Copies of this chain bind each other. A is one copy, B any other.
Amino acid sequence: MTSSLLFDNIYKYIFLKNSVLIQPGEMQNVFHQILLKYGFAESKAKKLAEVFTVNTVDGVYTHGVYRFPRFIQYIKDELVKKEAEPSFVSGFGGVEQWNGNLGPGPLNAIHATERAIQLSQQNGIGCVALANTNHWMRGGYYGWLAAKKGFAFIGWTNTLGIMPAWKALDGRLGNNPLVMGVPFNDEAIVLDMAFSQFSYGAMELAVMKNEELSVPGGFNNEGELTKNPAAILESKRPLSIGYWKGAGLSLLLDVLASILSNGFSVAGISKQKSEVSLSQVFICINLTRLSNYSSIPAMLKNIIDDYKQSVPDGDAKIVYPGEGIVQKRNKNMKKGVEVLKEKWEEILQL
Binding site for B on A (CB under 8 A): 1-2, 89-95, 97, 122-127, 152, 154, 164-170, 172-173, 178, 180, 182, 189, 191, 193, 195, 197, 215, 223, 225, 241-246, 248-249, 251-256, 258-260, 262, 265-268, 283, 285-287, 289-292, 295-296, 299-300, 302-303, 306-307, 309-313, 316-318, 320-321
Contact = CB atoms under 8 A, between A and B. Distances in A.
A180 B252 contact: yes
Given A258-B299, A262-B295, 18 more contacts: A90-B291, A93-B286, A95-B123, A95-B124, A127-B285, A154-B256, A165-B318, A178-B249, A191-B249, A193-B249, A197-B242, A258-B303, A259-B290, A259-B299, A265-B299, A267-B302, A267-B303, A267-B307
Given A94-B124, A123-B93, A168-B313, A300 B248 contact: no
Nearest to A92: B289
B302 A169 contact: no
Nearest to A121: B93
A260 B285 contact: yes
Contacts of A248: 1, 191, 193, 320-321
A309 B124 contact: no
A329 to B, nearest CB: 18
